Chain A
Amino acid sequence: MIRHECLELLAPLITDHLVVTSQSGQRIEWSHLSKHEGNLLVGMMGCALGVGMGLALALPHRRVVVLESDGSILLSLFNLVTLANLHPQNLTVFVFDNQVYSGTRISEPTATAGKTDLEAMARGAGLEQAVTVRYLDGFRQEATAALTATKLCFIVCRVEESGIHREIPRPTVDLAENKYRFVRHVERTEGKPNPFVGRG
Protein backbone atom coordinates (compact mmCIF):
# COMPACT_ATOMS: atom_id res chain seq x y z
CA MET A 1 0.00 0.00 0.00
CA ILE A 2 1.23 3.49 -0.82
CA ARG A 3 0.05 6.79 0.63
CA HIS A 4 -1.41 8.08 -2.63
CA GLU A 5 -3.74 5.07 -2.86
CA CYS A 6 -4.97 5.76 0.67
CA LEU A 7 -5.55 9.45 -0.03
CA GLU A 8 -7.37 8.61 -3.27
CA LEU A 9 -9.68 6.43 -1.24
CA LEU A 10 -10.09 9.06 1.48
CA ALA A 11 -10.78 12.14 -0.68
CA PRO A 12 -14.34 11.25 -1.82
CA LEU A 13 -15.30 10.38 1.77
CA ILE A 14 -14.67 13.93 3.01
CA THR A 15 -17.89 15.90 3.45
CA ASP A 16 -18.18 18.52 6.21
CA HIS A 17 -14.88 17.52 7.81
CA LEU A 18 -12.07 19.97 8.45
CA VAL A 19 -8.82 18.49 7.19
CA VAL A 20 -5.33 19.52 8.34
CA THR A 21 -2.25 18.19 6.59
CA SER A 22 1.36 18.34 7.72
CA GLN A 23 4.18 19.44 5.48
CA SER A 24 5.35 16.42 3.55
CA GLY A 25 4.66 14.72 0.27
CA GLN A 26 1.12 14.09 1.44
CA ARG A 27 0.42 17.85 1.43
CA ILE A 28 1.20 17.85 -2.28
CA GLU A 29 -0.74 14.65 -2.96
CA TRP A 30 -3.76 15.72 -0.89
CA SER A 31 -3.96 19.16 -2.51
CA HIS A 32 -3.89 17.43 -5.88
CA LEU A 33 -6.62 14.94 -4.96
CA SER A 34 -8.92 17.17 -2.88
CA LYS A 35 -10.18 20.70 -3.56
CA HIS A 36 -12.27 20.70 -0.38
CA GLU A 37 -12.53 24.24 1.06
CA GLY A 38 -12.09 22.84 4.55
CA ASN A 39 -8.51 21.75 3.77
CA LEU A 40 -5.79 23.49 5.74
CA LEU A 41 -2.47 22.66 4.12
CA VAL A 42 -0.05 23.40 6.93
CA GLY A 43 3.34 24.11 5.40
CA MET A 44 5.44 23.12 8.40
CA MET A 45 6.57 19.83 9.86
CA GLY A 46 5.52 19.08 13.43
CA CYS A 47 2.53 21.42 13.54
CA ALA A 48 -0.48 19.69 11.97
CA LEU A 49 -1.52 17.54 14.92
CA GLY A 50 -1.36 20.52 17.30
CA VAL A 51 -3.43 22.64 14.94
CA GLY A 52 -5.91 19.79 14.53
CA MET A 53 -6.25 19.45 18.30
CA GLY A 54 -6.92 23.18 18.62
CA LEU A 55 -9.56 23.04 15.91
CA ALA A 56 -11.21 19.99 17.46
CA LEU A 57 -11.35 21.68 20.87
CA ALA A 58 -12.67 24.93 19.42
CA LEU A 59 -15.32 23.20 17.31
CA PRO A 60 -16.36 20.10 19.27
CA HIS A 61 -19.37 19.47 17.02
CA ARG A 62 -17.20 19.20 13.86
CA ARG A 63 -15.10 16.18 12.89
CA VAL A 64 -11.51 17.21 12.33
CA VAL A 65 -9.18 15.00 10.30
CA VAL A 66 -5.40 15.30 10.60
CA LEU A 67 -3.10 13.83 7.97
CA GLU A 68 0.28 13.43 9.60
CA SER A 69 3.55 11.78 8.63
CA ASP A 70 6.13 9.80 10.60
CA GLY A 71 8.74 12.54 10.31
CA SER A 72 6.31 15.23 11.43
CA ILE A 73 4.99 13.22 14.40
CA LEU A 74 8.54 12.42 15.49
CA LEU A 75 9.31 16.14 15.54
CA SER A 76 6.49 16.81 18.05
CA LEU A 77 6.16 13.66 20.14
CA PHE A 78 4.77 15.67 23.06
CA ASN A 79 1.59 15.92 20.98
CA LEU A 80 0.86 12.26 21.71
CA VAL A 81 0.65 12.68 25.48
CA THR A 82 -1.36 15.88 25.18
CA LEU A 83 -3.74 14.30 22.68
CA ALA A 84 -4.25 11.28 24.93
CA ASN A 85 -5.09 13.45 27.92
CA LEU A 86 -7.26 15.99 26.11
CA HIS A 87 -8.92 13.17 24.20
CA PRO A 88 -11.13 15.16 21.80
CA GLN A 89 -13.86 12.78 20.62
CA ASN A 90 -14.20 14.57 17.29
CA LEU A 91 -10.66 14.06 15.99
CA THR A 92 -9.38 11.47 13.54
CA VAL A 93 -5.62 11.22 13.05
CA PHE A 94 -3.99 9.35 10.18
CA VAL A 95 -0.22 9.00 10.39
CA PHE A 96 1.23 7.97 7.03
CA ASP A 97 4.38 6.19 8.09
CA ASN A 98 6.59 5.60 5.06
CA GLN A 99 9.71 5.29 7.23
CA VAL A 100 11.58 7.99 5.31
CA TYR A 101 12.15 11.70 5.14
CA SER A 102 11.04 11.86 1.55
CA GLY A 103 11.62 15.33 0.15
CA THR A 104 12.08 16.52 -3.38
CA ARG A 105 15.40 14.71 -3.67
CA ILE A 106 16.11 12.95 -0.39
CA SER A 107 15.05 9.59 0.94
CA GLU A 108 16.60 9.24 4.36
CA PRO A 109 15.30 6.77 6.96
CA THR A 110 13.27 7.96 9.94
CA ALA A 111 13.34 6.25 13.32
CA THR A 112 10.38 4.09 12.25
CA ALA A 113 12.62 2.45 9.67
CA GLY A 114 14.58 1.24 12.69
CA LYS A 115 13.23 0.12 16.03
CA THR A 116 10.49 2.67 16.61
CA ASP A 117 6.82 1.67 16.53
CA LEU A 118 4.44 4.64 16.39
CA GLU A 119 1.39 2.63 17.42
CA ALA A 120 3.22 1.38 20.52
CA MET A 121 4.35 4.91 21.32
CA ALA A 122 0.82 6.22 20.93
CA ARG A 123 -0.52 3.48 23.19
CA GLY A 124 2.18 4.24 25.74
CA ALA A 125 1.14 7.88 25.65
CA GLY A 126 -2.40 6.82 26.53
CA LEU A 127 -4.00 6.42 23.09
CA GLU A 128 -5.24 2.90 23.72
CA GLN A 129 -7.32 2.94 20.55
CA ALA A 130 -4.29 3.37 18.26
CA VAL A 131 -4.14 0.86 15.43
CA THR A 132 -1.82 0.13 12.53
CA VAL A 133 -3.03 -0.72 9.04
CA ARG A 134 -0.76 -2.23 6.40
CA TYR A 135 -3.12 -3.08 3.54
CA LEU A 136 -5.57 -1.04 1.52
CA ASP A 137 -8.59 -3.09 2.56
CA GLY A 138 -7.74 -2.46 6.21
CA PHE A 139 -7.24 1.22 5.51
CA ARG A 140 -10.62 1.45 3.75
CA GLN A 141 -12.35 -0.19 6.68
CA GLU A 142 -10.64 1.93 9.36
CA ALA A 143 -10.92 5.19 7.42
CA THR A 144 -14.61 4.77 6.61
CA ALA A 145 -15.40 4.11 10.27
CA ALA A 146 -13.10 6.85 11.57
CA LEU A 147 -14.69 9.59 9.45
CA THR A 148 -18.10 9.03 10.99
CA ALA A 149 -16.95 7.96 14.45
CA THR A 150 -17.92 9.70 17.67
CA LYS A 151 -14.60 8.97 19.34
CA LEU A 152 -10.94 9.88 19.01
CA CYS A 153 -9.30 7.74 16.32
CA PHE A 154 -5.55 7.30 15.80
CA ILE A 155 -4.54 5.24 12.79
CA VAL A 156 -0.96 4.56 11.81
CA CYS A 157 -0.85 3.73 8.10
CA ARG A 158 2.28 1.78 7.38
CA VAL A 159 2.92 2.59 3.72
CA GLU A 160 5.68 1.95 1.24
CA GLU A 161 7.67 4.89 0.05
CA SER A 162 6.55 6.31 -3.27
CA GLY A 163 7.80 9.21 -5.38
CA ILE A 164 4.40 10.34 -6.64
CA HIS A 165 4.63 13.64 -4.75
CA ARG A 166 7.67 14.49 -6.85
CA GLU A 167 5.82 13.95 -10.11
CA ILE A 168 2.46 15.66 -9.63
CA PRO A 169 1.97 19.47 -9.67
CA ARG A 170 2.71 21.22 -6.37
CA PRO A 171 -0.06 23.39 -4.85
CA THR A 172 -0.08 26.95 -6.20
CA VAL A 173 -2.27 28.29 -3.37
CA ASP A 174 0.05 30.00 -0.91
CA LEU A 175 -0.17 29.58 2.85
CA ALA A 176 -2.00 32.82 3.62
CA GLU A 177 -4.44 32.29 0.75
CA ASN A 178 -5.19 28.79 1.98
CA LYS A 179 -5.59 30.06 5.56
CA TYR A 180 -8.17 32.69 4.56
CA ARG A 181 -10.06 30.26 2.34
CA PHE A 182 -10.17 27.80 5.24
CA VAL A 183 -11.23 30.44 7.79
CA ARG A 184 -13.96 31.76 5.44
CA HIS A 185 -15.18 28.19 4.99
CA VAL A 186 -15.37 27.75 8.76
CA GLU A 187 -17.17 31.10 9.13
CA ARG A 188 -19.67 30.19 6.42
CA THR A 189 -20.38 26.70 7.71
CA GLU A 190 -20.47 27.77 11.37
CA GLY A 191 -22.52 30.88 10.64
CA LYS A 192 -20.37 33.22 12.71
CA PRO A 193 -17.41 35.49 11.97
CA ASN A 194 -13.87 34.79 13.06
CA PRO A 195 -12.72 37.59 15.42
CA PHE A 196 -9.40 38.24 13.67
CA VAL A 197 -10.44 38.66 10.02
CA GLY A 198 -12.54 41.16 8.15
CA ARG A 199 -11.89 44.28 10.20
CA GLY A 200 -10.89 46.86 7.61
Chain B
Amino acid sequence: MTALLHAAPRGVLFLRAELGKLGAFLRRDFLIAWSYRLAFVSEWAGLALQAVTFYFVGKMIDPSVLPAYGGSPATYMEFVAIGIAMTAFVQLALSRVGHGLRGEQVQGTLESLLMTPTSPTTIQLGTVFYDVLYIPLRTAVFLVLVGLAFGLDFHTDGFVPALVVLFAFIPFVWGLGVANAGFLLTFRRGGGAAALLFTMLALFSGAFFPLDLLPGWLQGAAELNPIAIAIEGMREPLLGGTGWEGVGSDLLVLLPLSIVSLAAGLLVFRAALRRERRRGSLGLY
Protein backbone atom coordinates (compact mmCIF):
# COMPACT_ATOMS: atom_id res chain seq x y z
CA MET B 1 0.00 0.00 0.00
CA THR B 2 2.80 2.36 0.98
CA ALA B 3 4.57 1.47 -2.21
CA LEU B 4 1.44 2.33 -4.15
CA LEU B 5 1.16 5.69 -2.44
CA HIS B 6 4.75 6.49 -3.33
CA ALA B 7 4.44 5.15 -6.86
CA ALA B 8 1.45 7.25 -7.82
CA PRO B 9 3.02 10.70 -7.47
CA ARG B 10 6.18 9.48 -9.22
CA GLY B 11 4.05 8.26 -12.10
CA VAL B 12 2.20 11.54 -12.24
CA LEU B 13 5.45 13.51 -12.15
CA PHE B 14 6.87 11.35 -14.91
CA LEU B 15 3.77 11.81 -17.04
CA ARG B 16 3.85 15.58 -16.48
CA ALA B 17 7.52 15.73 -17.41
CA GLU B 18 6.97 13.68 -20.57
CA LEU B 19 3.95 15.79 -21.57
CA GLY B 20 6.08 18.91 -21.13
CA LYS B 21 8.53 17.44 -23.60
CA LEU B 22 5.75 17.15 -26.19
CA GLY B 23 5.50 20.94 -26.02
CA ALA B 24 9.19 21.13 -26.90
CA PHE B 25 8.66 18.88 -29.93
CA LEU B 26 5.67 20.99 -30.97
CA ARG B 27 7.70 24.21 -30.81
CA ARG B 28 10.61 22.66 -32.68
CA ASP B 29 8.46 21.32 -35.50
CA PHE B 30 6.46 24.51 -35.84
CA LEU B 31 9.71 26.48 -36.19
CA ILE B 32 11.01 23.99 -38.75
CA ALA B 33 7.71 24.04 -40.71
CA TRP B 34 7.69 27.84 -40.59
CA SER B 35 11.20 27.90 -42.03
CA TYR B 36 9.76 26.19 -45.14
CA ARG B 37 7.12 28.85 -45.86
CA LEU B 38 6.94 28.12 -49.60
CA ALA B 39 6.23 24.41 -49.00
CA PHE B 40 3.57 25.43 -46.51
CA VAL B 41 1.82 27.64 -49.08
CA SER B 42 2.21 25.14 -51.95
CA GLU B 43 0.64 22.37 -49.89
CA TRP B 44 -2.51 24.45 -49.42
CA ALA B 45 -2.48 25.57 -53.05
CA GLY B 46 -2.25 21.93 -54.18
CA LEU B 47 -5.24 21.00 -52.07
CA ALA B 48 -7.26 23.94 -53.43
CA LEU B 49 -6.41 22.97 -57.03
CA GLN B 50 -7.53 19.41 -56.33
CA ALA B 51 -10.86 20.77 -55.05
CA VAL B 52 -11.29 22.93 -58.16
CA THR B 53 -10.60 19.90 -60.39
CA PHE B 54 -13.28 17.87 -58.66
CA TYR B 55 -15.68 20.84 -58.88
CA PHE B 56 -15.55 20.66 -62.68
CA VAL B 57 -15.62 16.84 -62.69
CA GLY B 58 -18.72 17.13 -60.52
CA LYS B 59 -20.51 19.10 -63.23
CA MET B 60 -20.45 15.99 -65.44
CA ILE B 61 -21.82 13.63 -62.81
CA ASP B 62 -25.47 12.87 -62.42
CA PRO B 63 -26.35 13.42 -58.72
CA SER B 64 -28.90 10.59 -58.88
CA VAL B 65 -26.06 8.00 -58.87
CA LEU B 66 -24.86 9.38 -55.54
CA PRO B 67 -26.18 8.06 -52.25
CA ALA B 68 -28.63 10.18 -50.28
CA TYR B 69 -27.75 11.23 -46.75
CA GLY B 70 -30.52 11.78 -44.22
CA GLY B 71 -32.95 11.36 -47.08
CA SER B 72 -31.61 14.33 -49.01
CA PRO B 73 -29.47 14.05 -52.17
CA ALA B 74 -25.93 15.46 -52.19
CA THR B 75 -24.03 17.10 -55.04
CA TYR B 76 -20.84 15.43 -56.24
CA MET B 77 -18.78 18.33 -54.90
CA GLU B 78 -20.31 17.88 -51.45
CA PHE B 79 -19.76 14.15 -51.68
CA VAL B 80 -16.17 14.32 -52.84
CA ALA B 81 -15.02 17.25 -50.67
CA ILE B 82 -15.24 15.05 -47.57
CA GLY B 83 -13.50 12.25 -49.47
CA ILE B 84 -10.67 14.55 -50.55
CA ALA B 85 -10.27 15.93 -47.05
CA MET B 86 -10.17 12.48 -45.46
CA THR B 87 -7.87 10.81 -47.98
CA ALA B 88 -5.51 13.79 -47.82
CA PHE B 89 -5.63 13.44 -44.04
CA VAL B 90 -4.81 9.71 -44.16
CA GLN B 91 -2.10 10.12 -46.79
CA LEU B 92 -0.39 12.97 -44.97
CA ALA B 93 -0.68 11.33 -41.57
CA LEU B 94 0.62 7.96 -42.82
CA SER B 95 3.52 9.57 -44.56
CA ARG B 96 4.51 12.03 -41.86
CA VAL B 97 4.06 9.70 -38.92
CA GLY B 98 5.93 7.01 -40.81
CA HIS B 99 8.75 9.30 -41.80
CA GLY B 100 8.98 11.25 -38.55
CA LEU B 101 11.60 9.06 -36.93
CA ARG B 102 13.08 8.06 -40.25
CA GLY B 103 13.68 11.77 -40.81
CA GLU B 104 15.50 11.97 -37.49
CA GLN B 105 17.59 8.97 -38.54
CA VAL B 106 18.50 10.50 -41.89
CA GLN B 107 19.22 13.90 -40.35
CA GLY B 108 21.44 12.22 -37.76
CA THR B 109 19.47 13.52 -34.80
CA LEU B 110 17.90 10.21 -33.74
CA GLU B 111 20.84 9.15 -31.60
CA SER B 112 20.95 12.57 -29.93
CA LEU B 113 17.26 12.16 -29.06
CA LEU B 114 17.77 8.64 -27.74
CA MET B 115 20.63 9.85 -25.54
CA THR B 116 18.22 12.09 -23.62
CA PRO B 117 16.24 10.80 -20.63
CA THR B 118 13.07 10.65 -22.69
CA SER B 119 10.96 7.53 -23.15
CA PRO B 120 10.91 6.02 -26.66
CA THR B 121 7.13 6.43 -26.72
CA THR B 122 7.46 10.16 -26.01
CA ILE B 123 10.08 10.44 -28.74
CA GLN B 124 7.84 8.62 -31.18
CA LEU B 125 4.83 10.71 -30.24
CA GLY B 126 6.90 13.88 -30.10
CA THR B 127 8.25 13.51 -33.61
CA VAL B 128 4.68 13.44 -34.99
CA PHE B 129 2.88 15.56 -32.41
CA TYR B 130 2.89 18.67 -34.59
CA ASP B 131 1.39 16.70 -37.49
CA VAL B 132 -1.15 14.92 -35.28
CA LEU B 133 -2.48 18.36 -34.32
CA TYR B 134 -1.91 20.16 -37.60
CA ILE B 135 -3.35 17.60 -40.03
CA PRO B 136 -6.85 17.30 -38.49
CA LEU B 137 -6.93 21.09 -38.15
CA ARG B 138 -5.95 21.40 -41.79
CA THR B 139 -8.70 18.89 -42.74
CA ALA B 140 -11.35 20.85 -40.83
CA VAL B 141 -10.20 24.20 -42.24
CA PHE B 142 -10.16 22.71 -45.75
CA LEU B 143 -13.74 21.52 -45.42
CA VAL B 144 -14.91 24.91 -44.14
CA LEU B 145 -13.10 26.82 -46.91
CA VAL B 146 -14.31 24.48 -49.66
CA GLY B 147 -17.82 24.71 -48.23
CA LEU B 148 -17.72 28.51 -48.37
CA ALA B 149 -15.97 28.75 -51.76
CA PHE B 150 -18.25 26.34 -53.61
CA GLY B 151 -21.43 27.08 -51.69
CA LEU B 152 -21.67 23.52 -50.33
CA ASP B 153 -24.63 22.74 -48.15
CA PHE B 154 -23.01 21.31 -45.01
CA HIS B 155 -25.19 20.95 -41.93
CA THR B 156 -23.54 23.13 -39.31
CA ASP B 157 -24.92 20.97 -36.47
CA GLY B 158 -23.04 18.07 -38.03
CA PHE B 159 -19.60 19.61 -37.51
CA VAL B 160 -19.09 18.42 -33.95
CA PRO B 161 -20.20 14.79 -34.60
CA ALA B 162 -18.05 14.78 -37.75
CA LEU B 163 -15.07 16.06 -35.77
CA VAL B 164 -15.61 13.34 -33.16
CA VAL B 165 -15.50 10.73 -35.94
CA LEU B 166 -12.33 12.32 -37.23
CA PHE B 167 -10.71 12.25 -33.77
CA ALA B 168 -11.81 8.64 -33.21
CA PHE B 169 -10.16 7.81 -36.53
CA ILE B 170 -6.83 9.55 -35.75
CA PRO B 171 -5.40 6.71 -33.59
CA PHE B 172 -6.16 4.21 -36.36
CA VAL B 173 -4.11 6.18 -38.91
CA TRP B 174 -1.51 6.97 -36.30
CA GLY B 175 -1.12 3.26 -35.49
CA LEU B 176 -0.56 2.48 -39.18
CA GLY B 177 1.92 5.35 -39.37
CA VAL B 178 3.83 4.15 -36.30
CA ALA B 179 3.98 0.63 -37.70
CA ASN B 180 5.21 2.14 -40.95
CA ALA B 181 7.86 4.03 -38.93
CA GLY B 182 8.97 0.69 -37.47
CA PHE B 183 9.23 -0.86 -40.94
CA LEU B 184 11.16 2.15 -42.21
CA LEU B 185 13.52 1.93 -39.25
CA THR B 186 14.13 -1.73 -40.06
CA PHE B 187 14.08 -1.85 -43.83
CA ARG B 188 15.07 1.79 -44.52
CA ARG B 189 13.10 1.86 -47.76
CA GLY B 190 9.72 0.51 -46.78
CA GLY B 191 7.83 3.60 -47.94
CA GLY B 192 6.55 1.85 -51.04
CA ALA B 193 4.53 -0.67 -49.01
CA ALA B 194 2.80 2.12 -47.06
CA ALA B 195 2.01 3.98 -50.30
CA LEU B 196 0.51 0.80 -51.79
CA LEU B 197 -1.55 0.16 -48.67
CA PHE B 198 -2.81 3.75 -48.75
CA THR B 199 -3.70 3.56 -52.46
CA MET B 200 -5.70 0.37 -51.90
CA LEU B 201 -7.49 1.68 -48.84
CA ALA B 202 -8.25 5.02 -50.57
CA LEU B 203 -9.45 3.35 -53.78
CA PHE B 204 -11.98 1.25 -51.92
CA SER B 205 -12.97 3.90 -49.42
CA GLY B 206 -15.79 5.59 -51.32
CA ALA B 207 -13.86 8.85 -51.16
CA PHE B 208 -14.22 9.68 -54.84
CA PHE B 209 -17.07 7.45 -55.99
CA PRO B 210 -19.90 5.61 -54.18
CA LEU B 211 -19.11 2.08 -53.02
CA ASP B 212 -22.35 0.96 -54.75
CA LEU B 213 -20.47 1.17 -58.05
CA LEU B 214 -18.08 -1.63 -57.00
CA PRO B 215 -18.84 -5.31 -57.78
CA GLY B 216 -20.87 -6.93 -55.01
CA TRP B 217 -18.09 -8.97 -53.40
CA LEU B 218 -15.70 -6.01 -53.38
CA GLN B 219 -18.42 -3.76 -52.03
CA GLY B 220 -18.78 -5.99 -48.95
CA ALA B 221 -15.04 -5.86 -48.32
CA ALA B 222 -14.88 -2.09 -48.90
CA GLU B 223 -17.59 -1.50 -46.32
CA LEU B 224 -15.20 -2.94 -43.71
CA ASN B 225 -12.47 -0.50 -44.75
CA PRO B 226 -11.89 1.84 -41.76
CA ILE B 227 -11.34 4.81 -44.10
CA ALA B 228 -14.71 4.11 -45.72
CA ILE B 229 -16.34 3.90 -42.29
CA ALA B 230 -14.76 7.20 -41.22
CA ILE B 231 -15.73 8.96 -44.45
CA GLU B 232 -19.32 7.75 -44.26
CA GLY B 233 -19.33 8.63 -40.58
CA MET B 234 -18.49 12.22 -41.51
CA ARG B 235 -20.86 12.43 -44.49
CA GLU B 236 -23.88 11.37 -42.48
CA PRO B 237 -23.90 14.35 -40.09
CA LEU B 238 -22.40 16.89 -42.53
CA LEU B 239 -24.50 16.09 -45.61
CA GLY B 240 -27.53 14.37 -44.09
CA GLY B 241 -27.81 16.35 -40.86
CA THR B 242 -28.24 13.12 -38.93
CA GLY B 243 -26.41 14.54 -35.90
CA TRP B 244 -25.14 12.08 -33.29
CA GLU B 245 -27.56 9.38 -34.41
CA GLY B 246 -25.74 8.90 -37.68
CA VAL B 247 -22.29 8.44 -36.16
CA GLY B 248 -22.99 6.07 -33.25
CA SER B 249 -22.52 2.82 -35.13
CA ASP B 250 -19.45 4.15 -36.95
CA LEU B 251 -17.84 5.16 -33.67
CA LEU B 252 -18.54 1.71 -32.22
CA VAL B 253 -16.51 0.16 -35.03
CA LEU B 254 -13.82 2.84 -35.30
CA LEU B 255 -12.85 3.13 -31.64
CA PRO B 256 -11.81 -0.52 -31.08
CA LEU B 257 -10.07 -0.54 -34.47
CA SER B 258 -8.18 2.60 -33.49
CA ILE B 259 -7.10 1.16 -30.15
CA VAL B 260 -5.88 -2.07 -31.75
CA SER B 261 -4.12 -0.22 -34.55
CA LEU B 262 -2.29 2.17 -32.20
CA ALA B 263 -1.27 -0.57 -29.76
CA ALA B 264 -0.04 -2.81 -32.56
CA GLY B 265 1.80 0.09 -34.20
CA LEU B 266 3.59 1.00 -30.98
CA LEU B 267 4.58 -2.63 -30.40
CA VAL B 268 5.99 -2.91 -33.90
CA PHE B 269 7.86 0.34 -33.46
CA ARG B 270 9.38 -0.56 -30.09
CA ALA B 271 10.45 -3.96 -31.44
CA ALA B 272 12.10 -2.22 -34.41
CA LEU B 273 13.91 0.19 -32.10
CA ARG B 274 15.14 -2.66 -29.88
CA ARG B 275 16.34 -4.54 -32.95
CA GLU B 276 18.27 -1.52 -34.25
CA ARG B 277 19.89 -1.00 -30.86
CA ARG B 278 20.92 -4.66 -30.74
CA ARG B 279 22.31 -4.51 -34.26
CA GLY B 280 23.99 -1.19 -33.59
CA SER B 281 22.55 0.30 -36.75
CA LEU B 282 20.46 3.15 -35.34
CA GLY B 283 22.63 5.76 -36.98
CA LEU B 284 22.75 4.02 -40.35
CA TYR B 285 20.43 5.08 -43.12
A binds B: no
Residues of A within 8 A of B (CB): none
- Residues on B facing A (Cβ under 8 Å): none
